[in-house]
Amino acid sequence: MPILPTDTSPIDTGRHGTAEMRIIFEEEARVQRLLDVEAALAWAHAEVGNIPRKHAAKIVATASTKYVKVNRIKEIEREIKHDIASLVRALAEACGPSGGYVHLGATSYDIVDTANALQLKDALELIGDKLDEFEKVLIEKASRYKNTLMMGRTHGQHALPITLGFKFAVWMREISRHVQRLRQCKERVLVGKMSGAVGTQAGLGEHALKIQDLVMQRLELKPAEISTQIVQRDRHAEFVCLLAGIASTLDNFATEIRELQRPEIGELFELFEVEKQVGSSTMSHKRNPELCERVCGLARIVRSLVVPALEDVVTWHERDLTQSSTERYVLPEVCILVDYMLFLMTNIVAHLRVDEKHMLKNVGLTQGRAMSEAVMIALTKKGVGRQEAHELLRKLTIKSEIERQHFEDVLLEDKIVSRRLTKKEIDAALEPKNYLGTAKEQVARVVKRTMKERKARGLV
């Protein structure tokens, strides 16, 4: 059996995920975050006079994987069967006489939950940056294709004309809302605690609240207002649900591109490197939307993580261990996958091939029938009741389709229509460019709003 590289998961063998996100959740990086919390705790104890400063300084200086080796922690764990106690013993061992002050007054999940918050803080920075970049790409696409006519579809059928820029602007604002949600959720998700065995801080002494505040200040986290032995998992559940929402948004965009890439439609296409890319191992002509399909597939995994995240909200009394095993998978996986999906979709949209001529050709596929609402509105302006006009046009569109006759000819032949509308008025009603409503105005308005929001965030 081949031995996998140590920096890959045995599940996906390193296929999915960006290097910068994966490194946050590598084992040694995780251990370092746990050691960072232990160092902050020792420092805070010294600040309030609980332990001598020289011993705190020794612990702070030694709390590094340079001195506390992952292999040594694992060696101890094989004997005592407790991961955090093993880390504490390995750190104390490396600190010599100062080791007696390691982990003073704390419980395991003071360390674990605060380290979780540190990792999530790093992960959220990356995800936030990628949302910002994707939003920027969508601003460019919405502006560039603001006037590019295409057919809008509902139920998979031709509905009314829109512009491609309008579609991109709708996507842009969906990403903008996720940016807002991500920024808001940080207040509730990025919290740590130093509260002891059941949350009462009894083991931390008279300066317990001050110690917790000092630890969180040093680590640049917010302290939980109140907690039991664990930070309450509604926080993590909110975070996972948010990332699942982002994944579903990306799934939605990718599905739309996949549909529009079908030869029967042929309007948008993933970038295909014609010099060397292979679409199929046997069908040489294939140019599959495989990156979009990858996004859609990974979104299913991300959504599946919502259930265990919600289940983790439930705990016995002041804590149990049911959350521990699930979130070792859920938190890294949801961060790695969503970050990767954002990376993929940003590049997909940035390099989309747009066939504007085929879009225009597709607008005419229904021989003008897709403009029936515009004709109905024109008739109502000439005194025909709305319901009467709708029923008339319903019958005329069916006649046009069955007889394979252009809708304009059918309209001109109809006595009710021809008595009220001139050929020029019919032609105007059947011109798709005349029936875009405020689509272009809406694109310009939301682009302006999004750019204003980005400026407030310090972006361009």
> Comparing C-alpha atoms, which of 236, 248, 302 is closest to residue 16?
302
Predicted local distance difference test score (pLDDT) of residue 282: 64
Q: Which of 54, 77, 101 is the last residue of a domain?
A: 101
Domain count, the chain: 3
> Is 207 part of any domain?
no
Tokens of 425: 């008025």
Q: Are 102 and 59 in contact (CB under 8 A)?
A: yes
Asked if residue 322 and residue 240 are part of one domain, the reply reads: yes
Predicted local distance difference test score (pLDDT) of residue 4: 40
Say whether 207 is catalytic. Answer: no
Asked if residue 271 and residue 186 are part of one domain, the reply reads: yes
Tokens of 434: 């005349």
Asked if residue 395 and residue 411 are part of one domain, the reply reads: yes
Selected catalytic residue, list 82, 280, 351, 418: 280
Helices and strands per DSSP (H, E), number in the chain: 19, 6
Tokens of 446: 């939301």
> Is 440 part of any domain?
no
Asked if residue 139 and residue 29 are part of one domain, the reply reads: no
Say whether 155 is catalytic. Answer: yes
> Is 212 part of any domain?
no
Asked if residue 322 and residue 237 are part of one domain, the reply reads: yes
Asked if residue 161 and residue 97 are part of one domain, the reply reads: no
Asked if residue 285 and residue 426 are part of one domain, the reply reads: no
Q: Which of 309, 342, 362 is the last residue of a domain?
A: 362
> Is 6 part of any domain?
no
Predicted local distance difference test score (pLDDT) of residue 367: 97
Predicted local distance difference test score (pLDDT) of residue 2: 39
The burial class, CB within 10 Å (0-12 / 13-18 / 19+), for 448 is exposed
> Is 3 part of any domain?
no
Asked if residue 314 and residue 170 are part of one domain, the reply reads: yes
Predicted local distance difference test score (pLDDT) of residue 8: 53
Cα–Cα dist 452/458, whole Å: 10
Tens-of-pLDDT digits for all 460 residues of the chain?
A: 333 444 555 566 678 999 999 999 999 999 999 999 999 999 999 999 999 999 999 999 999 999 999 999 999 999 999 999 999 999 999 999 999 999 999 999 999 999 999 999 999 999 999 999 999 999 999 999 999 999 999 999 999 999 999 999 999 999 999 999 999 999 999 999 999 999 999 999 999 999 999 999 999 999 999 999 999 999 999 999 999 999 999 999 999 999 999 999 999 999 867 667 666 556 767 678 899 999 999 999 999 999 999 999 999 999 999 999 999 999 999 999 999 999 999 999 999 999 999 999 999 999 999 999 999 999 999 999 999 999 999 999 999 999 999 999 999 999 999 999 999 999 999 999 999 999 999 999 999 999 999 999 999 8
Residues spanned by the domain of 249: 108-202+219-362
pTM (two decimals):
0.94
b or e along 92-123 (b: 16 or more beta carbons within 10 Å of the residue's beta carbon)?
Answer: bebbeebbebbbbbbbbbbbbbbbbbbbbbbb
Asked if residue 264 and residue 150 are part of one domain, the reply reads: yes
Selected catalytic residue, list 45, 98, 108, 155: 155
Q: Which of 101, 116, 144 is the last residue of a domain?
A: 101
Tokens of 315: 């705990």
Q: Are 160 and 152 in contact (CB under 8 A)?
A: yes
> Is 429 part of any domain?
yes
Residue 423: which CATH number? 1.10.40.30
Asked if residue 355 and residue 415 are part of one domain, the reply reads: no
Cα–Cα dist 225/99, whole Å: 30
Asked if residue 317 and residue 186 are part of one domain, the reply reads: yes
CA distances from 371 to 110, 162, 209, 381 (A): 64, 12, 68, 16
> Comparing C-alpha atoms, which of 96, 342, 83, 319 is closest to residue 193?
319
Predicted local distance difference test score (pLDDT) of residue 1: 37
> Is 41 part of any domain?
yes
Residue 81, sorted as left (phi over 0), alpha (psi -120 to 50) or beta, turns out to be left
Q: How many CA atoms lie within 13 A of 309 on its CB side?
A: 23
State which H helix or E strand residue 450 sits in: helix 439-456
Residue 240, sorted as left (phi over 0), alpha (psi -120 to 50) or beta, turns out to be alpha
Predicted local distance difference test score (pLDDT) of residue 301: 97
Residue 43: which CATH number? 1.10.275.10
DSSP H stretches of helix in 227-321: 234-261, 290-304, 306-311
Asked if residue 190 and residue 65 are part of one domain, the reply reads: no
> Is 225 part of any domain?
yes
Residue 306: which CATH number? 1.20.200.10
